[in-house]
Chain A
């Protein structure tokens, strides 16, 4: 056991392991690229949906249930399914990751919108704001802390799951896990897993700090 951790330490800090097109630096960049792009696509779909059902109060039942359904989808199964249907491409990976990210963004955006004090929304209309002004000047800023939480959760989930890109022969930190398993190289498997965990935790901490900095003047209850 001690030997294993010693080897893991050596693997993580060795210079040759970080350099090159299959080095940790490159894999890390790939992993972040998959994760960020998938989260962005998910946000582009989920944010408008969450805002719209939150603003109108309609369609919440359908949207929330679809989201729960998305949450229950087995990600690997989805990758395999799309892979079989579309052949070798990044499509299966992105579709699976986007499907994974959408539920937390939709539900948190919707939760943020419903948490806006109805009196405040009423006052906004009463002062003469049109619907888009109410949405963008009042509801969206007030829902922002919860929306940010949704995005953060989605990104963390996606980062942790983006290892599956390697399952269909693409890069990312999952490469070490799948290659290590194939080569019975436990140090490599563990190294990949540790890197994924560290990236997820660091991103989470960084985004929480950003969130606190952005909303520090808010009363505690809405933050």
Chain B
């Protein structure tokens, strides 16, 4: 959908922002460009809609060279969301959203009707349309920014750190909304961020840039986390990249057992069958609240919950919130190991299906690709033994 072919960008002051970039961004997928500041990720994004023109090389969107198109018309055909939303303060929310349809000559009535429709799409109340941007919260402004970018239904969406300026709670909400929208709309999205967690959450593919405009690695989140190309990428992913990998795998395949009866801890349910709390058989200590998990929750949150739960068991519920069973810490660990192996594409995983816990990474400094691979090949048995004990001890005391 979007193809970069040996694209080079040098600014007049002599700095190279993007260095001979060749990269394909697939149709209907989210490609996240990450890297520290000054690595050329924003310049790369802005070259797609000609906010910046490359010094050399070709960029094609939908097969057509962007430099051969009129810049203003090209930009109208590509959604663009920026940090701080960049909304027009003198226009109502509705008119902000209607910007591109009006530029395309849809007429005011049709443009407004479309804008009203989009308010709902991005989860804003209809009466927000009559307000002015400064009357909205930061998160709401970003939603308007997304609605404005979607107004003319462009096949491509460019997002330049769109959630960088909102607090973490709102950011998570906005990320969820974006994922929901993307399932509905299936746009080709290019997303710039410096937040690796955001990249892992949103990206189908992640392109890691290094200062000087070099693309270091472009891969799926799982592959990137399991097999970083070099020290730079590994450092950028952070010490917890094993845990991050777990955030990509869901709980669906982890086996369930019936809830324990008559043990030290029993699960208390409410009238609808939803788990409420763990109760100790002596009933001396207070009930411990339980956070039930669905199949769509990640292994990471399951692991977290299994550590928090006194019984070491995770309560599993169906979509309606009714208890379906429990999973043990061991089962979760085992699947965490499988998930980790599957992330290493090309490494046969059948030979070592046992839990190779993800915790090995924080203990062992990552030395680079040369060392990461051999460890996977011959160290499995040992890490297996090393990785598991800490939680096991905790379980006994439960």
Contacts and interface: CB of A to CB of B under 8 A. Distances in A.
B114 to A, nearest CB: 14
B100 A127 contact: yes
A125 B86 CA distance: 11
17 contacts: A117-B89, A119-B82, A123-B80, A123-B86, A126-B75, A127-B75, A127-B100, A128-B72, A128-B77, A128-B100, A128-B103, A130-B72, A133-B103, A142-B90, A218-B89, A218-B90, A219-B134
Task: For the complex of A and B, list the 9 residue pairs with the smallest distance between their C-beta atoms, beginning with the closest.
Answer: A123-B86, A128-B76, A128-B75, A219-B134, A126-B80, A119-B86, A141-B90, A128-B72, A130-B72
Nearest to A220: B134
A107 to B, nearest CB: 22
A31 B51 CA distance: 51
B73 A128 contact: yes
Nearest to B80: A126
B141 to A, nearest CB: 12
Given A133-B103, A219-B134, A127 B90 contact: no
Nearest to A142: B90
Nearest to A119: B86
Contact of A217 (B73, B88, B132): B132
A126 B88 contact: no
B72 A129 contact: yes
Contacts of B134: 219
A122 B82 contact: yes
Contacts of B74: 128
Nearest to A219: B134
A138 interface: yes
Contacts of A217: 132
Nearest to A123: B86
A126 B85 CA distance: 12
Interface residues of A, number: 20
A219 B90 CA distance: 9
Contact of A125 (B73, B75, B77, B89): B75
Nearest to A137: B88
Interface string A109-141: 000000001011011111111100100001001
Contacts of B148: 127
A222 interface: yes
A124 B88 CA distance: 8
Given A127-B80, A128-B72, A128-B100, 8 more contacts: A117-B86, A123-B88, A126-B75, A127-B103, A128-B75, A219-B89, A219-B132, A222-B89
B196 to A, nearest CB: 25
Contacts of B301: none
A217 B135 CA distance: 10
A62 to B, nearest CB: 22
A219 B74 CA distance: 32
Contacts of B132: 217-219
A152 to B, nearest CB: 20
B306 interface: no
Nearest to A120: B86
Nearest to B75: A128
A133 B132 CA distance: 20
A129 B89 contact: no
A126 B103 contact: no
B293 to A, nearest CB: 40
Interface string B83-109: 111111110000000011001000000
Contacts of B250: none
From A128, A130, A141, name the one whose CB has the most chain B CB atoms within 10 angstroms.
A128
Given A119-B82, A128-B103, A133-B103, A138 B51 contact: no
Contacts of B99: 127
Nearest to A217: B132
B49 interface: yes
A92 to B, nearest CB: 41
A94 to B, nearest CB: 34
Nearest to B104: A128
A39 B8 CA distance: 52
A216 B87 CA distance: 18
Contacts of A124: 88
A11 to B, nearest CB: 48
Contacts of B51: 122, 125-126
Interface in A28-86: none
Contacts of B73: 128
Interface string B326-350: 0000000000000000000000000
B87 A120 contact: yes
Contacts of B75: 125-128
A117 B88 CA distance: 10
Contacts of B84: 119
B100 A126 contact: no
A82 to B, nearest CB: 41
